[in-house]
Structure 1
Amino acid sequence: MIAVDQAEGLRRWARSRGVTPVQRQRAERTLVVVGLSGAGGGDVDEVSRLLRHWAQEGRHWVGDPGDWRIVPMDVASPYIPVLANQQPRWGLWVEHDRQGFRRAFRQIQALAARGGPKRLLALHPPTLPRRGLLGNLQQAAADYFGTELLVLAR
């Protein structure tokens, strides 16, 4: 039995009629991130590294980490309510130091007070475990602000 490549037949037919393939555009996805503190994009690089880490772990939803446009956002911005309606993907950067919980809690509190998103992806160094800081923050976000904090740590 001879294997027939149907797609090749269609490509030949299209070429014979002068049709050329369309270049595939990158499917850019925007991730609005609150809680980043550094200037000069250092923290944005941390978020990019985390997305690469998750992709390498096999989290297929990440796709190509290079397709993500990371937009740092200050919770004091007057545009929070508008962006919350326009942008479906929001993240909260959580540091692993002792003050990380306190800073992250204040970020969630400020977002809730300004009509921010009700769902956030917890972004954090890969070594931060779910138990402890992240679990407590997830519970506090839900109990005090009605905010769902999606935690991917183990």
Structure 2
Amino acid sequence: MTMDQASGLRHWASRQERDAGGCPTHVAEALIALAGQVPAASRVAVARRPPPAAQLATSTATLLIVGLPARQLERAREPLTHWHGQGRRWVGDPQRWQLVPVAPDSPHLSLLAAQQPRWALWVEADAESFRRAWRLLLALAEAGGPGRLLLLHPPGLRRPGLLDNLQQAAAHYLGVELVVLA
């Protein structure tokens, strides 16, 4: 008996719900929706090799975001719009991005990290932002999260200081690459 990937994910999610006392519904639904978007024959290639920039600029892309509550998710589109306005072609149309919030304590984090190539960490511009971002990075590293994240922040936040410090600390202490576009 064979199962397609979506069926396997549904089975896994229901088993996790029984075993772990409840799977967050939004995570299970996002996994199933994402698995159904890509034809079975190309799933392996998409997970291993990102598409060329020209294709990425016109197709829908999923960006998993840590550090930003779901109710504020549209704030993550601001830097994408800003970068698009600066002529960064890889962004394409900022509206084509499917933004998916992920909690750093999600039981599905390592599975998502293995399946999804595009991750971002949201960093605010306030005095506590380094501490919050560092705690999120620690939680991600301990849970088997992604090893590379795009650093999303409100437009206008300058690279020297907070962003550089966070990038260097993540690389040195956690082995996590933060991509900074400021």
TM class by shorter chain equals 0.7 to 0.9
Which residue identity does 2:61 align to in structure 1?
Answer: R
SS at match of 1:96: coil
Deviation of the 1:64 alpha carbon: 1.0
For each residue in 1:101-153, what CA deviation from the matched residue of structure 2 results, as whole angstroms up to 9, or x when unmatched? 00001111100000000000000011111000000000000011000000001
2 CA distance for matches of 1:46 and 1:88? 21
SS at match of 1:101: helix
1:78 alignment partner in structure 2: 107
Deviation of the 1:89 alpha carbon: 0.2
Aligned length: 125
Deviation of the 1:75 alpha carbon: 0.2
Question: Do 2:167 and 2:178's aligned partners in 1 also have CA atoms closer than 8 Å?
Answer: yes
SS at match of 2:117: coil
Which residue identity does 1:93 align to in structure 2?
Answer: W
Moved over 4 A (4+): none
Larger relative CO (CA 8 A, sep 6+): 1 or 2? 1
Bigger-Rg structure (1/2):
1
What's the TM-score once normalised by structure 2's chain length?
Answer: 0.67
Which residue identity does 1:77 align to in structure 2?
Answer: S
More helix by share: 2
Which residue identity does 1:130 align to in structure 2?
Answer: R
Coordinate RMSD, CA, aligned:
1.0
1:30 alignment partner in structure 2: 62
1 CA distance for matches of 2:65 and 2:135? 14
Q: 1:88 aligns with which of 104, 117, 121?
A: 117
2 CA distance for matches of 1:147 and 1:99? 21
For each residue in 1:63-101, what CA deviation from the matched residue of structure 2 results, as whole angstroms up to 9, or x when unmatched? 111110000110000000000010000000000000000
1 CA distance for matches of 2:97 and 2:164? 26
| Identity %, equivalent residues | 56
2:158 alignment partner in structure 1: 129
What's the TM-score once normalised by structure 1's chain length?
Answer: 0.79
Unaligned runs of 5+ in 1: 1-25
5 Å matches for 1:1-154? 27-37=59-69, 39-40=70-71, 42=72, 44-153=73-182
Unaligned runs of 5+ in 2: 1-57
